A and B are shown apart, each in its own frame.
Chain A
């Protein structure tokens, strides 16, 4: 009987794997992971000073940032937790944009329904940057990380500023 024959269906106790599992379990208890994102526990308060759709000024001096969201939308919760509850991101948004939260639950109201229609919102979360006349400067569908959101907003701002410069006589 050669070595291969000996191996046939042979059962061995996987000591290495059992030991590794035990060691990792001990390490995991010693260094616990933080609560996972998007959890159902109370979330940190958002630091962005959101306006309601009806509070948007007629002639805004800054570009508008619309956040189309829904209470049932898990990626929206994650984005709120990671981006809008973050001090750095919130300061940038508050100083640079007029942030407007547009919840799907209010879609029955005329002013909210018009926003959904105008920006052709079909998914959540959707971020839309619009100029004073309500024209779309940039939009982003779906969840993106804090870093990607800030990059998106920065580029939208640059585009908005360039468009404003072009319009000036």
Chain B
């Protein structure tokens, strides 16, 4: 049943003009960027759009269903709220991963066929880095979406960036180091992704992966906990 929700999410989130255009654009940008790079293909540059694609795909993931009333129909299906939310989250991640992999395979494969020197390890690690950042943003948006209706999760998400910038600017201009530190900390957490240089996973990369995993599970734990306890007029014991 969860698989049904997953594929429903893939169709529902992807088959809209903006996500579809961005998805295809990400793949095309990877290919074009690989043609443009002269000596090395170190990373699919189009994959840098994956986090942006994540925002478009995950915007209002739950909030829209609550707002337009379709959540009641979904909750009437024989599955738990956690299964429903997991299906939604994995649906978005499947689209992101497929886009990232397609862009990487086409750009690196194309360069290799042209006789270029492809650094497979570095290029795949770069793609994975962008995918991890994108999945972190999906987790953040889902955490916002279970608590807010419509597309307010996107407003909260970009609002957090604005707060980070404001705090940094206030700290920078007034000499209040705590504001500056708080702003920089928030900005770093929002944009955090482990640095996986060529998959040579040393101590530093392992700690960054731990930091990333902690961030994502915290956001998802909040999302699953709140979604399960939220009163939606149906399906809650």
Contact = CB atoms under 8 A, between A and B. Distances in A.
B12 interface: no
B149 interface: no
| Size category, B interface | 35 or more
Interface string B56-82: 000000000000000000011111111
B220 A17 contact: yes
Interface in A9-44: 9-14, 17-18, 20-21, 24-25, 27-28, 31-34, 36-37, 39-41
Contacts of A20: 217, 221
A144 B221 contact: no
Contacts of B82: 12, 14
A41 B77 CA distance: 51
A138 B39 contact: yes
A151 interface: yes
Contact of B42 (A41, A139, A144): A144
Contacts of A139: 38-39
A162 interface: no
Contacts of A151: 40, 119
B40 A10 contact: no
Contacts of B45: 142
Contacts of A7: 78-80, 83
A161 interface: no
A25 B218 contact: yes
Nearest to A39: B188
**Interface of chain B, helix or strand or loop or mixed?**
helix
B122 A148 contact: yes
Nearest to A136: B38
Interface residues of A, number: 42
Interface in B196-237: 197-198, 204, 207-208, 210-211, 213-214, 217-218, 220-221, 224-225, 228-229, 234-237
B207 A21 contact: no
A41 B187 CA distance: 13
Contacts of A145: 42, 122, 197-198
A13 B228 contact: yes
B214 A27 contact: yes
Contacts of B210: 24, 27-28, 31, 33
A8 B1 CA distance: 11
Contacts of B76: 8-9
Given A10-B80, A11-B235, A37-B195, A140 B39 contact: yes
A4 B78 contact: yes
B161 interface: no
Given A20-B217, A142-B42, A11 B78 contact: no
Nearest to A30: B210
Given A8-B78, A142-B37, A151-B119, A33 B207 contact: yes
B188 to A, nearest CB: 6
5 contacts: A4-B1, A11-B80, A13-B228, A145-B198, A148-B119
In the A-B complex, the 4 residue pairs with the closest CB atoms: A9-B235, A4-B78, A9-B75, A21-B221
Given A11-B237, A152-B39, A152-B40, 12 more contacts: A9-B75, A11-B229, A14-B228, A18-B221, A18-B225, A20-B217, A20-B221, A24-B218, A33-B208, A146-B197, A147-B197, A155-B117
